[in-house]
């Protein structure tokens, strides 16, 4: 039986608002493909969408999920080049990927290389490009320079460490609990520290006083200002999340006397302005890095669509080591 993970309302407990319900789909029409979902991750933005706290919310009722991979089951009539039954494809970016099957415009499906881990490819669309673009779009960094980030054991944080190392950059990685230090180091972090009020001094000591020109903030609140304290004068701080649920705090002295710049990043906005060629180049590079093992994300557990409530609850738990993914079976 085909299933979809649907929610009809939003609420403070994300697993309480979503459930698996039967799905009925017609045969693919001309130019369409019927795709069996293989894997789709649960990202923080997905949880915030369920609670109603994300910046852009789909109309209700809605199906959860925003990225993933699947296999082509059948193709509709018409001229469809480059696709065949059984082919692994990247699902269209957007909503509605927590399903066992979906109908998609065949032209929107991106063929993926066989032999690569489909669970890793399922996480290609959101976190890797977010990490890659934040490393390149705001400050022009030379090999050997340092970058600092918080929430370093998150999905984006893991990719950022690996991409930085691939580009010859060094990273200071802040985590919120000591139990996350070792696993963060294994992802390629050069320096891993527990965030706290005295973090600026500890960062200077760990980097021998290096001038850090780029900071990446996923938390907001007071954590934003702590990152700013670690940056060199005229440094740039990029915020892409509010895990604290609080607005970014930045001391006036950081703005007035030290010239710190605070900017925001949202991947959807980048896609709105980037050319198709730039998008293809970005995903081509990232796909190759995932396929050859250069980029790899930890997977904590997988759950079928039928167990979507358990999957969402696990994704919202604090003590886990890796991503939760929804699978089609």
Give every CB contact of residue 15 below 8 A, 6+ residues apart in sequence: 309, 310, 312, 313, 316
Q: Which pLDDT value is given to residue 115?
A: 87
Of 71-80, 140-149, 206-215, 220-229, the least confident = 71-80
Q: How many CB atoms lie within 10 A of CB 14?
A: 24
Indicate if the pLDDT at residue 319 is higher than 90: no
What are 169-205's pLDDT values in tens digits? 999 999 999 988 998 998 889 999 999 999 999 999 9
21 forms bridges with which residues in the sheet? 4
Give the dihedral sign, CA 102/278/153/252: negative
Q: Which pLDDT value is given to residue 187?
A: 86
pLDDT over 90 for what percent of the chain?
A: 87
Indicate if the pLDDT at residue 79 is higher than 80: no
Residue 58 has what DSSP assignment? P
Distance of alpha carbon 319 from its chain centroid, rounded? Answer: 18
In the chain the domains, ranked by start, together with CATH numbers, are: 3-123+297-327 (3.90.180.10), 127-268 (3.40.50.720)
What band does 142 get if pLDDT is binned at 50, 70 and 90? very high
What are 106-129's pLDDT values in tens digits? 988 999 998 899 999 999 999 999
What are 23-32's pLDDT values in tens digits? 999 999 999 9
Q: Which pLDDT value is given to residue 82?
A: 82
- Give the CA count within 13 Å in the CB-facing half-sphere of 293: 1
- Mean model confidence pLDDT for the chain: 95
Distance of alpha carbon 66 from its chain centroid, rounded? Answer: 10
How many separate helices (H) and strands (E) can be counted in the chain?
Answer: 12, 16
Q: Which pLDDT value is given to residue 81?
A: 81
33 forms bridges with which residues in the sheet? 75, 104
Indicate if the pLDDT at residue 329 is higher than 90: no
pLDDT over 70 for what percent of the chain?
A: 100
Sheet holding 261-264, edge to edge: 191-194, 170-175, 146-149, 214-217, 236-239, 261-264
What are 246-301's pLDDT values in tens digits? 999 999 999 999 999 999 999 999 999 999 899 989 999 999 999 999 999 999 99
Which residue numbers are catalytic? Answer: 54
């Amino acid at each position: 039986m085909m299933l979809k993970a649907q929610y009809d309302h939003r609420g403070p407990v994300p697993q309480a608002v979503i459930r698996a319900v039967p799905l009925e789909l017609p045969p693919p029409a001309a130019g369409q493909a019927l795709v069996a979902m293989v894997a789709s991750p649960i990202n923080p933005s997905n949880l915030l969408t369920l609670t109603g706290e994300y910046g852009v919310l789909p109309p209700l009722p809605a199906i959860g999920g925003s990225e993933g991979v699947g296999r082509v089951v059948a193709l509709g009539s018409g001229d469809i080049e480059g696709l065949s039954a059984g082919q692994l494809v990247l699902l269209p970016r957007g909503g509605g990927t927590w399903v066992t099957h979906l109908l998609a415009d065949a032209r929107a499906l991106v063929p993926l290389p066989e032999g690569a881990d489909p669970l890793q490819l399922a996480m290609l669309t959101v976190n890797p490009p977010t990490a890659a673009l934040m490393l390149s779009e705001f400050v022009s960094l030379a090999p050997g320079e340092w970058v600092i980030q918080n929430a370093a054991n998150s999905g984006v944080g893991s990719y950022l460490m690996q991409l930085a190392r691939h580009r010859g950059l060094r990273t200071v990685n802040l985590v919120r609990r000591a139990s996350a230090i070792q696993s963060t180091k294994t992802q390629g972090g050069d320096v891993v520290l527990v965030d706290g009020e005295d973090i600026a001094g500890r960062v200077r000591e760990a980097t021998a006083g290096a001038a850090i020109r780029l900071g990446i903030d996923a938390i907001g609140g007071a954590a934003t200002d702590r990152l700013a304290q670690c940056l060199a004068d005229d440094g740039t701080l990029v915020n892409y999340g509010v895990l604290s649920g609080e607005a970014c705090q930045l001391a006036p002295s950081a703005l007035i006397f030290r010239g710190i710049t605070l900017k925001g990043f949202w991947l959807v906005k980048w896609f709105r302005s980037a050319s198709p060629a730039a998008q293809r180049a970005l995903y081509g590079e990232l796909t190759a890095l995932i396929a050859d093992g250069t980029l790899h994300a930890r997977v904590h557990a997988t759950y079928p669509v039928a167990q979507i409530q358990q999957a969402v609850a696990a994704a919202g738990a604090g003590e886990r080591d890796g991503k939760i993914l929804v699978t089609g079976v």
